[in-house]
Structure 1
Amino acid sequence: MKRLWIHNEKGFTLMEMMVVLLVITVLLLIALPNITSHSSKINDKGCEGLKQMVQSQVEAYRIDNNAIPTLNDLKTEDYLGKDRELVCPNGYELSINSTTGKVE
């Protein structure tokens, strides 16, 4: 008589799956706080990069026109993209000091 039930040992047991889920959970608990604490630092670095890029365009405008530009001047004369929003990743809006030409 043939056996009706074939014993198949391919696959994982419930305990093996639980151990894998436990390991993944521990790794996530270790990694997530580090990622969230670095996001504010990443936003600050992004803001500094944007400030430096705008500052270089202010200097280019100053060389070309012998004047300190406004943000509107930089946009209309295509030193910056016309539709470019000058807002840092952390929500801080950039401005140009009208006396020194420094991007703040």
Structure 2
Amino acid sequence: MNMLKKESGFTLIEMLIVLAVISLLLILFIPNLSEKNQSIQSKGCDALIALAENQLLAYQLEGNSTITSADDLKSAGYLKSTECANGTMQLVYTPDGEALFSTEPKT
């Protein structure tokens, strides 16, 4: 007599339930991650502004002349880059403004 062996495994319904749970978790977490990424990029630009202001003070304390743009600090070796980490904003020197440095869209 040929008896069929009962094989254990997952049924189609069990697989669909697991897939639905994973999809639900992805739907909940992916938008939150993109919001966090935007927040991190914004804080990175703020940190670059603070770093540039401190490096400007170091530049002036060492007896160097005044600067005319943020690129002057870069060419003197005080800054590695004048762009924010996301690459869409650049550092701008504004000596007559309220802050010495600000960011604006990269042109």
TM-score, structure 2 normalization: 0.74
Tell me how far apart the structure 1 counterparts of residues 63 and 4 of structure 2 sit (CA, whole Å). Answer: 88
Give the total of aligned pairs. Answer: 99
Runs of 4+ that moved beyond 4 A: none
Tell me how far apart the structure 1 counterparts of residues 63 and 95 of structure 2 sit (CA, whole Å). Answer: 15
Q: Aligned match of 1:92 in 72, 81, 89?
A: 89
What's the CA shift for 1:97?
A: 2.0
Amino acid of the residue matched to residue 62 of structure 2? Answer: D
Tell me how far apart the structure 2 counterparts of residues 90 and 49 of structure 1 sit (CA, whole Å). Answer: 14
Residues 96 and 102, structure 1, Cα contact 8 Å, conserved in 2: yes
The answer to which of 62-71 and 11-20 deviates more is 62-71
What's the CA shift for 1:4?
A: 6.8
User: What is the percentage of aligned positions where both structures have the same residue?
Assistant: 31
What is residue 44 of structure 1 aligned with on the other side?
A: 42
Return the structure number with greater strand share.
Answer: 2
What is residue 78 of structure 2 aligned with on the other side?
A: 79
* Unpaired runs of at least 5, structure 1: none
RMSD in angstroms over aligned alpha carbons?
2.4
Tell me how far apart the structure 1 counterparts of residues 4 and 101 of structure 2 sit (CA, whole Å). Answer: 77
* Unpaired runs of at least 5, structure 2: 103-107
Q: Aligned match of 2:26 in 25, 28, 36?
A: 28
TM-score, structure 1 normalization: 0.76
Question: Relative CO higher for 1 or 2, CA cutoff 8 Å, sep ≥ 6?
Answer: 1
